[in-house]
Each structure stands twice: as structure tokens, then as C-alpha cells.
Amino acid sequence: MRAEALQKKVEEMVLDSYEAMYRLAYTYVRNEEDALDIVQESVYKAIKHSSSVKQDGYIKTWLWRIVMNTALDFIRKNQKEIAVDAFFENGKEDSYQDFDTIEALKVLTEKEKTVVVLRFFEDQKLSEIARVLNENTNTVKTILYRSLRKLKLELTEGELGYEG
């Protein structure tokens, strides 16, 4: 019965997080169809392996990790360039309105991008992000602050019409 209850909770979390999963996948692949494929594959993996979740409280973190790993696997298989310049707009309102900021995400590494997206676009706490990335919370803070400095520099150069 425990496995069935876990599977039900995973299914509920998938339904509650579907759009957020899509947005995260899209940050990696920049393609609507590919992001949908990644989410679909992630949902399949999550439901198939739902019995491997150790605690109910970690289902969301576990689900984010599946989406990230599936996206990275997809990229490796397809050898696509990773960049971010647009997001799914039917999700959280006003979260993705500043396209200069979204364009600036291109200067970040994958891990930096993930931290920024999860923290500011998906409103996750640093401790949750640390669990998703299997990192220490202080490491996530360092990554976040380094990313914010890079973004600030990128955005400031854009405003000043920086020509190199």
C-alpha cells in the first residue's frame, strides 16, 4: 500500500507542477516541442520510479531533479546549444516579462541558470535548490551571488549600449 500511496502523491505533484516543469525544461532546450518531450519523459520516469522516493517531503525536489537530468540527457543526445531567450508565458503571470533579463541568462552556466530560475522564477528556497542540485546551501548561495553579479554586469552593459 505504501508504494501506491507514494505513486498517488507523485502524480498529484506532477499535476500541480506541470507548467513549472515545462518552464524548467524550456530553460535548457529553448524549444517548445523538446521541452514538452522532456516533461513527458520526466513524468513517465517519476511515476515509474515513484517507489524510490524516501520521504514524502522530498517529492518536489526529486521531481525537479528528474526534469533537470532528463533535460541534460536530451541535450547530450542531441548536442544542442543551451541558451535561454524566452519562456512559456501561460505560467506564473509577470514572472517572465523582462525579456532583457531572460536574454541576459545566456551568460550563465547551466548550474547558475538553474539556481537563478529555481530561486526567482519558481520561488524556491535556497535549501530546496541545494537538495535539487545535491549541493551545500552555502555553495548554492555562492552560485546565486556569482550569477547575480554576472547578470548585473550583462544588464548594465546592455543599458549603456556597451559596444566592447
Nearest residue to 97 via CA among 79, 131, 121, 125: 121
Query: Residue 118: what pLDDT?
Result: 87
The answer to whether 151 touches 113, Cβ cutoff 8 Å, is: no
Average pLDDT for consecutive 10-residue bins of the chain (164 residues)? Answer: 81 92 87 93 92 85 91 77 39 46 75 86 87 91 91 74 49
Query: Residue 110: what pLDDT?
Result: 83
Query: Residue 159: what pLDDT?
Result: 58
The CA–CA distances, whole Å, from 37 to 66, 74, 75, 108 equal 13, 9, 12, 24
- Which residue bears the cell 526529486? 62
The answer to whether 42 touches 70, Cβ cutoff 8 Å, is: yes
Distance separating alpha carbons of residues 92 and 77, to the nearest angstrom: 30
Query: Residue 13: what pLDDT?
Result: 92
Query: Residue 126: what pLDDT?
Result: 92
- Which set of grid coordinates corresponds to residue 64? 525537479
Task: Report the amino acid identity of residue 42.
Answer: S
